[in-house]
Structure 1
Amino acid sequence: MTDLDLPPVLGLSFLDPDQHGIKLAGSVWYFFTGGLVVPTLYWLGFRLMGMAGARRGLAFGTVHYLASGMLLVVSEPRYPKRRRGRGRPMGPLLSRYGALEQAMNLLGHLGYGTLLGLTAARRGTRA
């Protein structure tokens, strides 16, 4: 269905193609940032704004999408393991992948932001 194999691609941001543990490094990075760092930043943003909700979460999801897409520019491996096919570097906003990957990346970030906004609102996040 998709060419994007995220853990190895993320792992190549930290390790050289010849090193072992590329997929593990990418998985650890993904779960650390997606499970701890990013939700904390969302929570802090909701706290600073004084409230949360679906629209604010959607706005944060948009910022998250753009920031993560631009981060791919600076974290791109110098010597990617592959230039084509599964595991190739993503490029800014997944520009080296197809429309399916790009659309799902955007929808995933928007959905993630909306879900966190709704969850924070339900839990009563206030300033």
Structure 2
Amino acid sequence: MTVASMGALLLVGACSAPPMAPMSTMLSARLSGASEVPNVMSDATGTVDASLEPDSRVLTWRISYSGLSGPVTAAHFHGPAMAGQNAAPVVPIGGPLLSPIMGRATLTPSQAADLIAGKWYLNLHTTAHPNGEARGQVNVRP
């Protein structure tokens, strides 16, 4: 076999390789009382680190927080809503709700589209702030 024919075989093999799977979309949010609507006075801070698998639409998350007035009584992803707007919960987050909170959910196609478009936020609720003490708009990481 000549060097040229070996090169041709390698090229054909490379061209017939299966396509690469699409990469996960990485998402994040910064949580604060100032992002609540209306805003609340709180020392709460937090972050959301999440990923969305494009084919399965499985959303996985890790939520870390501190400085809340008390234990988290409920946590949800809400949408569709842009920053400054409120919306109903779309994905409830089950317990335990101690930091860090980790979980996953399978989204519908429209939910995945709203999430990627920046139309979801995460809200942490406490007894002192039943409508939410720390909130952050979820966005695709640059």
- TM-score tier (shorter): under 0.3
Structure (1 or 2) with the greater strand fraction? 2
Q: TM-score, normalised by structure 2?
A: 0.22
Structure (1 or 2) with the greater helix fraction? 1
Higher relative contact order (CA 8 A, sep 6+): 1
Give 1 or 2 for the bigger CA radius of gyration: 2
